[in-house]
Structure 1
């Protein structure tokens, strides 16, 4: 761990003010789902399936209809959420390989650092996809990783290095592979296969789920992945158990904290250490990232075949179950009323994202992007328009409210800082703005504009009324397989987002002054040098 972070952590633990924080500050859980579209939940209009636990979360809070991620792909979106800095400002924030070095640098201030400063215990659970270790492709998967979420302000982490379709297919607990099996040392490469190891391309007969495009390298659990891996043994995850594992890791950590808090006051002098007693009284922040509904979609038997939309629909049901497990645990432990929950997605939806799971064929009338155009990877709205629910049952957030305010995930840093009573220097979270009253449903004030980065790093801008996409070279459709419009054209695009027009009629020629105004605003955002 970075020494300065260790000193800050120790100071937070022994602080008298922090010891009393539980009584005045809420616990905060961010549930970051994966590749979930605006229209994938029944509270957002889905009719071919029901998501009762997520719907209940919305009923106990405020649901936003115009919320945006900062990118239409995972790694840059998560980078922006945790740092308050747009991903286009830093090189190397594209979709990360499973053996990428850590993309957020230890010296950067993060959302977890904010909560540590405010006297919170912090945890990261589930999908990470922001790199691990100080150097790409040089991680010691069989020993100790030298850079982890601990260097970014997280006290505890139990994470997937990248995504379920990328190796290594193991969970990492803090700085070691969880359940490490010394009889099966782990080797990982994104350059070449290991001698004698089967692949999806060469050995399709070994697969229980066939790839549709790419995803034909190393085989783990009968599913071929991106990248090459050898070993793992007992540490390898089982795809059908990933959701159960993530939920249990999260609940176990919370339960441990609650039990510590219950037992700490009864410790006799000398029987339990001061740090543990202090830590027990801290509120907590959890960054909880589900694997669902990212590919490969291989849900548990409890959900397999339960949706008319195949495994993608089953994965949505599994995601809803995960949310239900978390909220039920909070109720059981008696801390639900003092826990602020934010549920959202890292980017928009995709149906065929590399596996032959019939997601496109079985979607039927279901529109995963809702009324938005495009999808994951895209410059169109569905690339970044995501579900966004804020729930805090203790009377702090209006119940059952629908907000049409334009909001952005980039504002997590400063909005949550305001919620927990922290002030940040201008040099921290440089793109984040305080919109906590809007996030909490207490105001309808929208953001003046949001910006979002497509898969080719082009950036578009959106105001409450207008969407401007800069002239961009590139194919009209995502070229490697997904049937998704990119939004790339050689001419400027301007769309009126009010009324029924949406992104259907390009009005750039009709409103040149608006095009110029938005183009200038976007250039101001892009002027800051990349780091």
Structure 2
């Protein structure tokens, strides 16, 4: 009996020790999302004009996703989908504004950060929040973040030389920017706080959400920044040069994050994802091919507005130099993080892409659904090689075969009526009515659309 008891105790200790070891090895997660950079701005996605060696190096050391999508085609809706793990037809923010003004996240809305905080993670956010201003139910510290440093209001984030930033709803004065002075460029401060958070939490698991604001307008960068100097002899106007410098500045900043992980000895236990929140702005589509030759840009649900650069690096876990055609989106972060920890994700719209990261086969999403109320209502659906798009709930959908027509130049709806019927049924089903937005049955002309050829 004593021997049996001794064996039981020994087994219990070993199991407890293994569980403790697993907890100690919970992987860190760093999600770096830059603002308004198009897929065509990055060298590894075919970009020809800008210097982005860090994303290229990350792809060589990790995995590049070639069918990745932003949460939506504009700032706040993307952030809402990313944080909640819900697709755009289920979230509160379906445009930057609504018919009731700015909409904060409701109290107790589960987020990636709140899920990870409950799992024992330190949680920090840096840059643009955009889902609730100080004094509302939507502030990040009420949604799982131990620390947020940067901007809460998205319009405030347009200013790179403001008089203050915000840290956990408190104003942090920037004396170098008082009375119109331009002494403290905010991205330098936000990047420094990102690196500090990583160092401060090197001995425990952490989630770092780097929602860095460049290259969103205003298009300004210190004139002595070496990243701007890369383009001083280019035949572009100053706005385009500034934008280019901002993209390269961000890319180099990601490099400094990777260097910090190596310096701290936590590189092998950290998943880093590098992406952008939506498609490029118009001026840079023309000057730099920032949408990579795709149709549309920011605020459009054609591919140029939502197709995203998306690279993941996790030494020892992800096979270097891997390319994946798996259909993935920002809404999948919550499900993937939950899968990494073997816990249940609060939302069900996302799908974990952890098997793909680890080199295993997986089927992934049946479809990805989007809707947006920016200027005009839009819906789209990506399903396999097919893409459907429409501007009214009862309008006929356009149909594109992205395997042969990635730039959506030829509407082939009339040739594939059964595919269109199936996709229109999904478009109708996945839209949930919201009191905050007016959804038209037909496009804004007020006339029923005919099917375009």
For this structure pair, what is the TM-score category when the shorter chain's length is used for normalisation? 0.7 to 0.9
Q: Provide TM-score, normalisation by structure 2.
A: 0.81
Q: CA separation of 1:18/1:108 partners in 2, compared to 1, >3 Å: closer, same or farther?
A: farther
Q: Distance in 1 between matches of 2:34 and 2:181?
A: 19
Task: Please provide the CA RMSD for this pair.
Answer: 3.0
Q: Is the 8 A contact 2:89 2:430 kept in 1?
A: no
Q: Which residue of 2 aligns with 1:503?
A: 408
Q: Which residue of 2 aligns with 1:153?
A: 144
Q: Which residue of 1 aligns with 2:297?
A: 375
Q: Which residue of 2 aligns with 1:325?
A: 256
CA deviation string 1:185-211 (max 9, x = no partner): xxxxxxxxxxxxxxxxxxxxxxxxxxx
Question: Which sits farther off after the overlay, 462-471 or 283-292?
Answer: 462-471
Note the C-alpha offset of 1:382: 1.1
Note the C-alpha offset of 1:255: 1.5
Matches within 5 A, 1:112-123: 112-123=113-124
Q: Is the 8 A contact 1:32 1:345 kept in 2?
A: yes
Q: Is the 8 A contact 2:280 2:298 kept in 1?
A: yes
Q: CA separation of 1:336/1:148 partners in 2, compared to 1, >3 Å: closer, same or farther?
A: same
Q: Distance in 2 between matches of 1:75 and 1:44?
A: 25
- Secondary structure of 2:193's match? helix
Q: Is the 8 A contact 1:376 1:382 kept in 2?
A: yes
Q: Which residue of 2 aligns with 1:407?
A: 328
CA deviation string 1:118-167 (max 9, x = no partner): 211111111111222345xxxxxxxxxx8621100011111212253269
Counting helix residues as a fraction of each chain, which structure ranks higher? Answer: 2
2:196 is equivalent to residue 247 of structure 1: no
Q: CA separation of 1:289/1:19 partners in 2, compared to 1, >3 Å: closer, same or farther?
A: farther
Q: Distance in 2 between matches of 1:315 and 1:95?
A: 23
Q: Is the 8 A contact 1:496 1:502 kept in 2?
A: no
Note the C-alpha offset of 1:329: 1.1
Correspondence for 2:378 among 449, 452, 458 = 458
Note the C-alpha offset of 1:423: 1.9
Q: Distance in 1 between matches of 2:349 and 2:280?
A: 25
Q: Which residue of 1 aligns with 2:271?
A: 340
Q: Distance in 2 between matches of 1:17 and 1:243?
A: 42
Q: Distance in 1 between matches of 2:331 and 2:92?
A: 18
- Secondary structure of 1:341's match? strand
Correspondence for 1:350 among 281, 284, 295 = 281
Q: Distance in 2 between matches of 1:251 and 1:31?
A: 12
Q: Distance in 2 between matches of 1:390 and 1:507?
A: 34
Q: Which residue of 1 aligns with 2:228?
A: 304
Q: Which runs of 4+ in 1 moved over 6 A?
A: 16-19, 528-531
CA deviation string 1:323-382 (max 9, x = no partner): 111111111111111110011111111143xxxxxx567x2xx32111321111002111
Q: CA separation of 1:305/1:240 partners in 2, compared to 1, >3 Å: closer, same or farther?
A: farther
Q: Which residue of 2 aligns with 1:66?
A: 67
Q: Distance in 2 between matches of 1:239 and 1:430?
A: 46
2:289 is equivalent to residue 384 of structure 1: no
Q: Is the 8 A contact 1:469 1:493 kept in 2?
A: yes
Q: Is the 8 A contact 2:378 2:392 kept in 1?
A: yes
For structure 1, the 5+ residue unaligned runs are 1-15, 136-145, 182-219, 222-232, 262-281, 353-358, 474-488
- Secondary structure of 2:125's match? strand
Q: Which residue of 2 aligns with 1:443?
A: 361
Q: Distance in 1 between matches of 2:138 and 2:308?
A: 31
Q: Which residue of 2 aligns with 1:524?
A: 429
Q: CA separation of 1:322/1:465 partners in 2, compared to 1, >3 Å: closer, same or farther?
A: same
CA deviation string 1:448-483 (max 9, x = no partner): 11112232342210112111012449xxxxxxxxxx
Q: Provide TM-score, normalisation by structure 1.
A: 0.70
Q: CA separation of 1:304/1:104 partners in 2, compared to 1, >3 Å: closer, same or farther?
A: same
Q: Distance in 2 between matches of 1:250 and 1:432?
A: 27
Note the C-alpha offset of 1:434: 2.9
Q: CA separation of 1:93/1:387 partners in 2, compared to 1, >3 Å: closer, same or farther?
A: same
- Secondary structure of 2:41's match? coil
Q: Which residue of 2 aligns with 1:31?
A: 32
Q: Distance in 2 between matches of 1:134 and 1:126?
A: 19
2:325 is equivalent to residue 420 of structure 1: no
For structure 2, the 5+ residue unaligned runs are 1-16, 235-239, 437-453
- Secondary structure of 2:185's match? helix
Q: Distance in 2 between matches of 1:243 and 1:22?
A: 34
Q: Distance in 2 between matches of 1:360 and 1:380?
A: 14
